[in-house]
Amino acid sequence: MFKRAASTLLMGVLIGTMLTGCGGLDKGKAPKEPSAKDSADTQGRSEGGAAEETEIQVFIAASLNTVMTELAEKYNEEHPEVKITYNADSSGTLLTQIQEGYECDIFFSAASKQMDQLEEDGLVKEGTRANVVNNQVVVVTLKDSGTKVTGLENIGEAKSFALAGGSVPVGKYTRQALVKLGKIEEAEDVSAITTEQVSDALGGMEISEQDNVSKVLSAVAEASCEVGTVYYSDIYGYEDQLKILETVSYDLTGNVIYPAARVVNDEADAAQKAAADDFMKFILSDEAKEIFDSYYFDTDVE
C-alpha cells in the first residue's frame, strides 16, 4: 500500500542567529588572507569603523540544520553584526526556490546534481563552488522495533518504510542503491522513479513518502514507520533511540558529496555580499571542519 505524507513548504527562517560576544571563530578568515579579507572588511564597515549590521540568506539541505546552527553561533561570536538566516529543506526544493527568485546568498546542497543545475542556470558566483563534506546513507529503525530488516537487501520485510521523494538527495541515493541491488528496475534518471514504483517492486509494502530527510528521521523516531533511510550524520542526538541496521556502501550509492557555493544575488548590497563571502570562507575553514567532524560528517573530501 502506497501513501503520501502531507508535505509543507519549509520556507522561512529555521534560525535567525544574531548572538553577541567576542572572541571565537572568524567565519571566513581562516586562514587569514589579508588582501581578500581586508577588502571584505572594508566593504562591510561604516565610516566610523564599526562593522555594519547586515543579514545573509543561507539555503541549506535539511540534514545540515543542526551542524549549521552551531557554525552560525561560532561565527557570531566574532561577528555579531551579521544575522544568518537559514532556510532548510530538501536540496531539490531549495534549488526550485532559487530558480524562482527567492533571495539567497549561499546554497549548501546535499548532492551535486542540484548545484550542477544552479551552475548551468548561471546563478553560482564563479570560482566559489567547493565540496565541503561527504556523508553516507544508513537504514535505521527504533532500537526496540523488533524489525526483521537487516538492510536494503530485505527492506521489503518491513511493515512500513519512510522514504524521501526522488528529488530529495537521500531519496535518490536510496533508489540508486536499490537499483544496484536489483530490487527495482534501472532508469535513465533514478530520481524519476516514483515512490509507488518502489512500493510495487518491493511487494506492495507501505511506503510513506517524505519531502526531506528530517521528516524521514522523524517518521522513524516517532514510530510512524518501521524503517527509513537517512544520513549517518542524522543519527547525531538520536544514538540512544535509533539503531543503524546498515551503513550503505558507496559502491551502491556513489559518493554523497555536499557542495556549497555563493549564489548570484543582485538584491544584496556591499555589506551583505562581503558578509556572505566571509561566511563562505568560514564554512571551508579548519575550525569549521572540526565542527562538521563532531556531527559525524566526513570532511576528507576533494
**Any idea what the CATH number is for the domain that residue 95 is in?**
3.40.190.10
Residues 173, 190 share a domain: yes
State how far the Cα of 285 lies from the Cα of 280, in Å rounded to an integer.
9
Query: Pick from 229, 247, 265: which residue ends a domain?
Result: 247
The whole-number pLDDT of residue 301 equals 87
Q: At what angle do helices 34-43 and 270-283 cross, to 10 degrees?
A: 140
* Whether the predicted pLDDT of 236 surpasses 90: yes
In terms of residue numbers, what domain contains 53? 15-134+257-294
State how far the Cα of 23 lies from the Cα of 29, in Å rounded to an integer.
13
Residues 268, 120 share a domain: yes
Look at the chain and report how many structural domains it folds into.
2
Query: What does the pLDDT average to over 28-34?
Result: 33
Residues 129, 25 share a domain: yes
Residues 200, 126 share a domain: no
Query: What does the pLDDT average to over 134-156?
Result: 97
CA distances for 117 relative to 95, 122, 131, angstroms: 8, 9, 15
* Whether the predicted pLDDT of 24 surpasses 80: no
The whole-number pLDDT of residue 302 equals 72
Residue 80 forms part of a structural domain: yes
* Whether the predicted pLDDT of 1 surpasses 90: no
State how far the Cα of 156 lies from the Cα of 171, in Å rounded to an integer.
16
Residues 125, 263 share a domain: yes
Give the residue among 249, 201, 203, 243 at the shortest CA–CA distance from 226.
243
The pLDDT confidence band at residue 42, using thresholds 50, 70 and 90, is: very low
Query: What does the pLDDT average to over 242-268?
Result: 97
Residues 141, 102 share a domain: no
**Average predicted confidence (pLDDT) for the chain:** 87
What is the greatest pairwise CA distance in the chain? 69
Residue 6 forms part of a structural domain: no
Share of the chain above pLDDT 70, in %: 83
Residues 189, 142 share a domain: yes
* Whether the predicted pLDDT of 50 surpasses 80: no
pLDDT tens for residues 252-261? 999 999 999 9
The 3-class secondary structure across 211-280, one letter per residue, is CCHHHHHHHHHCCCCCEEEEEHHHHCCCCCCEEEEEECCHHHHCCEEEEEEEECCCCCCHHHHHHHHHHH
* Whether the predicted pLDDT of 125 surpasses 70: yes
Residues 34, 171 share a domain: no
The whole-number pLDDT of residue 49 equals 52
The pLDDT confidence band at residue 51, using thresholds 50, 70 and 90, is: confident
pLDDT tens for residues 55-67? 999 999 999 999 9
* Whether the predicted pLDDT of 219 surpasses 90: yes
* Whether the predicted pLDDT of 40 surpasses 70: no
* Whether the predicted pLDDT of 12 surpasses 50: no
Q: Helix H segments across the chain?
A: 34-43, 65-78, 91-99, 112-120, 169-180, 195-201, 213-221, 250-253, 270-283, 286-294
Residue 123 is classified by DSSP as -
Cα 145–148–154 angle (5° rounding)?
Answer: 130
